[in-house]
Structure 1
Amino acid sequence: MSPLWRDQIRIGLSPSHVALLRFGKGLKPRLTAKVAVACPTGADATPWSSALTALDGLLSKPEWQHADASVVVSNGFARFQLLPWNEDIAGEEEQRSFARHKLATVYGDSSEWEIRIAEGNAGTENLACGMRLKLLDSITACCNKHGVRLRSLQPYLMAAYNRVRSELAQGNIWFAVTEPERVCVMRLDNGAWRSIHCRSLATDNPLAALVTVLEREQQLAGLDPQTDTTVLYAPGISAASLAAISKTKFKLVAPSSESNPDWRSDPQFAMAASA
């Protein structure tokens, strides 16, 4: 059956909350329902346990069943690594083995990870992403349990990047995707990936912490932030609030679909809206 003939659910899964958006079937889907619930904090066995428990509770309700789902997970549930161009590596399996090795040198044992690779242009670096197989299997099982067909699953960084990649194609760009307690910062040169780092943010003043992290990344790279463009995919942050604490010129970007809720008033749905 064509996806156009089933309702669509977009799911955002993070350590702090789970958000769901439901759209009706058809060529111009209309937002029909939305819900967001906080995840209890505690010493869970895995960082996503509370989020999966919350998702299971939401999908158990009839109004969220019998649909296709696109899931975006927090960048805190993923690991990223740039892969240097290597013309001697041929084929998908060799590329994945190379990526697994590179991820393991930074993050440790990667044998129980699903490895995905976003390819850049020939001669430029590729981007590898690793996610725990246990997490992916748990999300799939939760969807299957409640009659929801999982159509896609990706980390927030890549969902956001794909949403606004046309804004990142030219010039020297710093691209940052924010969450309440973390930010992933990517540097691009005319669309080619040059660096990527994920940093924690202090929760007492996350906006000031965000600006500090961005300025530090630019300083470590030996670049002048005034000559680059800093693009923020940052729900709940306004241009005015940034201008009040930083001289850096920021460009705020967001999902472009008119059917999405306004994340300036509903920032908790930004991750789900990016699916």
Structure 2
Amino acid sequence: MLHRWFNTLFKDELRVFIYPQRILLLHLKRTFKNGFKQTLVHQQFVDLPQKTETNGNETAQWDGLVSTLQQVLQTSHWQELAKSGAYAKVIISNHLIKYTVIPWSIALSIKSERQAYMQHRFKIAYGEPSKAWDLCMSEPDFGQASIASGVCAALLKELHQVFEQQGIDVNAIHPHLMLASNQMLQHIKKKKNQKHFWFVVIESGRACVSLIENSEWRFIRSIATGEDVAKQVDDLIQREAVISNANTQLPIFWYGKTPGSSTALKADSRHIKINLHHFELLNQQLEKRLKNWVPV
């Protein structure tokens, strides 16, 4: 792991954020002058074809995404970056990811057993379609549950092929929840004894709601959202509290665009906003510009 990190330290990075409405591409560089912290060299936003109806067809959810990314990577700036030996990291929107919690079991002592049990849990949660997904789970701490993610294996394969065709090594492909969780962990490190809370990740049209108890994942659910996101999240928390006997009055950490229009949310001090990852702020700033733009 250390060797892999050292090899990428002096290379430029292509960071790709895949959202349902656009792709955000960032050219990042480390230099001795800036203390080897990553700085932004170049950015590009690319709108994706909008799908009005997918009828449950997974392929339709990302149809056009791969071809659009392929066309963009063939433009001059990204071609030059590829020639320089840069590597890529990809963050995929929660719209394209499924999640579930994998309970701890002392019987699952080896990786193959954990993989088989994870497949079983996904089949219970999502049915037969989960057989076509690439599944991955966090390394469990002793006695604690893990969070697991599933993404269409065909999508991952096509993404790898696109970067391979451009001569760019893919360092990692992560679900958006992982990036948000890292921001959440940074936040709670500053808060002593903050081990019990609800965690809500907001994207355009989707909310990923989870419960953390004793620093352990207990529940996760991803839902489509409408105009009153705060009410939808509150309703989901209330239902889950009844089912699992959870505390509805725990703090709620929000990552993403906080639905501040709700009067109830504003009046409730339990709601805490977590700072966005500094590179992801670019997407939110773009959304604000598009919202405020009025054609003449």
TM-score by length of 2: 0.79
Tell me if 1:175 matches 2:184. Answer: no
Deviates more, 1:164-173 or 1:135-144: 164-173
Q: 1:166 to 1:28 in 2, by over 3 A?
A: closer
Separation in structure 1 between the aligned mates of residue 154 and residue 139 of structure 2, nearest angstrom: 25
Deviates more, 1:164-173 or 1:11-20: 164-173
Separation in structure 2 between the aligned mates of residue 242 and residue 152 of structure 1, nearest angstrom: 36
Residue by residue over 1:24-80, the C-alpha shift from the partner in whole angstroms, topping out at 9 and shown as x without a partner, is: 243122211111122112367431122222211211112124121110101121111
How many percent of aligned residue pairs carry the same amino acid?
Answer: 21
Separation in structure 2 between the aligned mates of residue 267 and residue 233 of structure 1, nearest angstrom: 16
Instruction: Give the length in aligned residue pairs.
Output: 258
Please report how far the alpha carbon of residue 150 of structure 1 lies from its aligned counterpart in structure 2 after TM superposition.
0.8
Q: 1:251 aligns with which of 272, 279, 285?
A: 272
Which structure carries more helix by proportion?
Answer: 2
Please report how far the alpha carbon of residue 16 of structure 1 lies from its aligned counterpart in structure 2 after TM superposition.
1.5
Runs of 4+ aligned residues of structure 1 deviating over 6 Å after TM superposition are none
Equivalent position of 1:185 in the other structure: 209
Please report how far the alpha carbon of residue 120 of structure 1 lies from its aligned counterpart in structure 2 after TM superposition.
3.8
Equivalent position of 1:272 in the other structure: none
Q: 1:99 aligns with which of 114, 118, 127?
A: 118
Tell me if 1:228 matches 2:237. Answer: no
Equivalent position of 2:3 in the other structure: none
Equivalent position of 1:87 in the other structure: 106
Please report how far the alpha carbon of residue 118 of structure 1 lies from its aligned counterpart in structure 2 after TM superposition.
1.0
* Structure 2 alignment gaps of length 5 or more: 1-5, 289-296
AA aligned to 1:115 is L
Equivalent position of 2:18 in the other structure: 13
Separation in structure 1 between the aligned mates of residue 218 and residue 280 of structure 2, nearest angstrom: 31
Could you tell me whether the CA contact under 8 Å between 2:29 and 2:41 is conserved in 1?
A: yes
Deviates more, 1:61-70 or 1:165-174: 165-174
AA aligned to 2:275 is A
TM-score by length of 1: 0.85
Q: 1:149 to 1:164 in 2, by over 3 A?
A: same
Matched residue SS, 1:93: helix
Please report how far the alpha carbon of residue 260 of structure 1 lies from its aligned counterpart in structure 2 after TM superposition.
6.6
AA aligned to 2:237 is Q
Q: 1:196 aligns with which of 220, 230, 254?
A: 220
Q: 1:264 to 1:131 in 2, by over 3 A?
A: closer
AA aligned to 1:23 is L
Matched residue SS, 2:144: coil
Equivalent position of 1:59 in the other structure: 73
Residue by residue over 1:188-236, the C-alpha shift from the partner in whole angstroms, topping out at 9 and shown as x without a partner, is: 013111100000012xx2xx2x2012211221114564x311111114x
* Structure 1 alignment gaps of length 5 or more: 269-275
